[in-house]
Amino acid sequence: RALAAGPEMHFGFQTVTEAERREKIYQVFESVAKKYDVMNDSMTLGIHRVWKDILMHKMNPSPGTLLLDVAGGTGDIAFRFINYVRSVREHQLQRKLKHHQNLSWQEIFESYQKDKSNSLGDSQVVVCDINREMLKVGKQKAQHLGYSEGLSWVLGNAEELPFDDDKFDVYTIAFGIRNVTRIDLALQEAYRVLKPGGRFLCLEFSHVSNPLLSRLYDLYSFQVIPVLGEVIAGDWKSYQYLVESIRRFPPQEELKAMIEDAGFFKVDYENLNFGIVAIHSGFKL
Amino acid sequence: VRCQHYPPLRALQASAVLGRVSDEHKKEPLTSSSQQHFDSHPAGHQPEEEPQGPRPSYTGQGGQESEDYESEEQLQHRILTAALEFVPEHGWTAEAIAEGAKTLGLSVAAAGMFHSDGSELILHFVSECNTKLSELLEKEQKLVQLGKAEKKPVDEFLRDAVEARLRMLIPYIEKWPQALSVLLLPRNIPSSLNLLSSMIDDIWHYAGDQSTDFNWYTRRAVLTGIYNTTELVMMQDSSPDFEDTWRFLHNRVADAMNMSSTASQVQSTGEAVVQGLMGAAVTVSNAETSRALR
C-alpha cells in the first residue's frame, strides 16, 4: 500500500493526497479532543445523545457480548454499552431469583454473591481510536465517571485493526467512518474481525432528502457551526472541516452498497431526524 | 491488504444459492435440506426439515468462515428452530433467539436480525406446528386409502386433529399466553390470521370436506371458533394431561354437529313456511278473483 503522494482525495472541500488527508484529520482531532464533547452538545443541541441511545437500543446487546467500538475516542458508545448491559443483567438476575422460589436462603445467598461479582455478565467493550489525544480524553472520562470493568482502550487504525479474525460480536463506528480515508478497507477490516453472525453498526451523518429541511440544515451547518467552533473551542478550521466532510460523505444508499461489497448481509439503514443522521446495520453471515 | 471476503452472490429471494464454504469446514452430516441446496438451485420454498436430535455444530476454527448456508431466510429459519429449545427458559424473546444462534456457532448479535419482541420466533413455531399437523393428517389419510385404518366419522376426526395440534403447545405452555398476546399485535395479525385459516382449511380438507357452497365458510368459522376457545381453555387447565381441555373440545365438537343438523332443520322449516305463505297468497288471490268474477 503506497502512502506516498498518492491519489487525490477530499479533505472537506479541499483536494489533497491520501497521506496529507490522514495527517490533516489527525491534527483536527488532536486539536478538538479536549472540547469534543462540549462541541457535540452545542452543535447538535444535545441531540447526539439521543442518537447514540437509539444506536444502543438497536444493538440490544445481551450480557456476554464483546463489542469493538472503532473511532470510539471519548467513549460515549462504550459507556452506554456498559450501562445497557448492566441493566439487562440485573433484570436477568431478578428473573432468575423469582424462578428459584423454593431454594434455601443459603443457596439464594450464594447464587447472589456469584452473580453480583459478574455484574456485566462477561460483556466487554474495546475502544479503538487512531488518535492518542482522543483516547486520553476517553480514559480520563472513564475514570471520572467510574467505569473500570469490562473496558479497554487500544490505539489502532480502522483500516488495519490490531485484532485477530472472528473476535467480536458487534462492531460499531459512530461518527468516525466519515474521517476514515479508505472506507472500503475499514469495512473489510470490520468484516474480518467480526465473528460469524456478528453485527456491523455505523452511526453517521447522512443525506437529507427533504429540500426545505436540507436548506435549513445547510444554513445551520455553514453559518452557525464554524462560529460555535471558534467561540467554544477556538478552532474555526476544524469545524469547517467537519461540516464539509459531512457533505462529502456518501449518502445512505451508496454507503449501503459499500457495506454489501465488504461481504455483509441483511444490510439496512434507518434515518434519524429525516436523514441528518443514519444508522446502517449489516451482519456477517 | 488482508482481504478475506468471498464475493457473495446477492441472495434476494429464498431460492438463490450462496455457496460459501470454508476450507476448514468440517464434513459433518448436513441436514437433508442443506444437502439438496448445495448441489442445485432449489425450485422454490422447501419445507424445513430440522432434525430434532443433536444439531451438528458449526463452530469455526482459526479465522475461517465456518458456515455453510443457502440464503439469509434459510439461515434465519435454522436460528429460529434452534431458539425454540430455549423458549421454556427465556420466553419468546430475543434472548432465546440469541441462545439459539449460539448453538449454531454464531455470535449472539445475530439475534439482531429479528424483532426484539420475538414475533418471528412465534410465527415460525406456529408455521412449523401447522406443517407437522399436515404431515400427520396426510399419513393418516394414506393409511385409510391403503385400507389399513378405518375412516373416522367427522366429529372424531376433528377432535383428534385439534387435539394433536394443541398438544404441540404442551412443551411451551407456560409461555404460550405471552405468545398469544404478541400474535394479536396489529403488526402480526395478517400473518397469524393467515396461518390460522390455512391450518383450519387443512383440517377440513383432510376431513373430507368437498363443499363449494355457503357451507365452506360456516365450517371454517365454526372450527376456528372451536380451536380458539379450546386453546384458551388449555391455557388455564391444570388437570392431569389436560383431560378437562379434551372434554371441553369433545363437547364443542358435539355442539357443532348438533348445530348443523339444527341448521338444516331450520332451513327446511323455513322453506316450509315460505311455501305456506306462497300457498296462502295464491289462495287469497284466487278467492279475490273468483269474488270479482261473481
Alpha carbon distance B27, B30 (integer Å): 8
CA-nearest residue of chain B to A60?
B112
What is the Rg, in whole angstroms, of the alpha carbon atoms belonging to chain A?
A: 20
Query: Looking at residue A145, which CATH number applies to its domain?
Result: 3.40.50.150
Nearest Cα to A75, choosing from A176, A185, A160, A7?
Answer: A176
Cell 483516547, residue located? A135
A37 in B contact zone (CB under 8 Å): no
Contacts of B67 in chain A (CB under 8 A): 196, 285
A161 in B contact zone (CB under 8 Å): no
Determine whether the interchain pair B72/A262 forms a contact, defined as Cβ–Cβ distance below 8 Å.
no
State mean pLDDT over B162-169.
95
**Which of residues B163 and B45 earns the better pLDDT score?**
B163
Please state which of the ranges A6-10, A86-90, B103-107, B192-196 shows the lowest mean pLDDT.
Answer: A6-10
Cell 306462497, residue located? B278
Alpha carbon distance A74, A133 (integer Å): 9
ipTM for the assembly: 0.83
pLDDT at B266: 67
pLDDT band for position A39 (50/70/90)? confident
- Is there a domain that residue A90 lies in? no
CA-nearest residue of chain A to B18?
A285
Cell 452430516, residue located? B29
- Is there a domain that residue A105 lies in? no
DSSP 3-state assignment of A139?
A: helix
Which residues face A9 on adjacent strands?
A16
- Is there a domain that residue A114 lies in? no
Range of the domain at A153: 9-80+124-284
Choose among A196, A260, A266: nearest Cβ to B60: A196
Alpha carbon distance B135, B150 (integer Å): 18
Contact status, residue B199 vs residue B229, Cβ threshold 8 Å: no
Chain B interface test: which of A55, A56, A166 (most B C-beta within 10 Å): A166
- Is there a domain that residue A3 lies in? no
Amino acid at A275: G
Choose among A60, A165, A188: nearest Cβ to B3: A188
How many CB atoms are located within 10 Å of the residue A204 CB? Answer: 22
Alpha carbon distance A84, A72 (integer Å): 17
Taking the CA of residue B212 and the nearest CA in chain A, the distance in Å comes to: 44
A174-200: b (≥16 Cβ within 10 Å) or e: bbbbbbbbbbebbbbbbbbbbbbbbbb
- Is there a domain that residue A183 lies in? yes
Q: Residue A64 above 50 pLDDT?
A: yes
Pairing mode of beta strands A124-129, A151-155 = parallel
Contact status, residue B230 vs residue B220, Cβ threshold 8 Å: no
Q: Residue B108 above 90 pLDDT?
A: yes
Contacts of B77 in chain A (CB under 8 A): none
pLDDT band for position B45 (50/70/90)? very low
Backbone angles phi, psi at A206, to 5 degrees: -140, -155
The domain tally of chain A equals: 1
How many CB atoms are located within 10 Å of the residue A145 CB? Answer: 11
B231-283 pLDDT tens trace: 999 999 999 999 999 999 999 999 888 876 666 666 766 777 777 777 777 77
Choose among A58, A59, A285: nearest Cβ to B72: A285
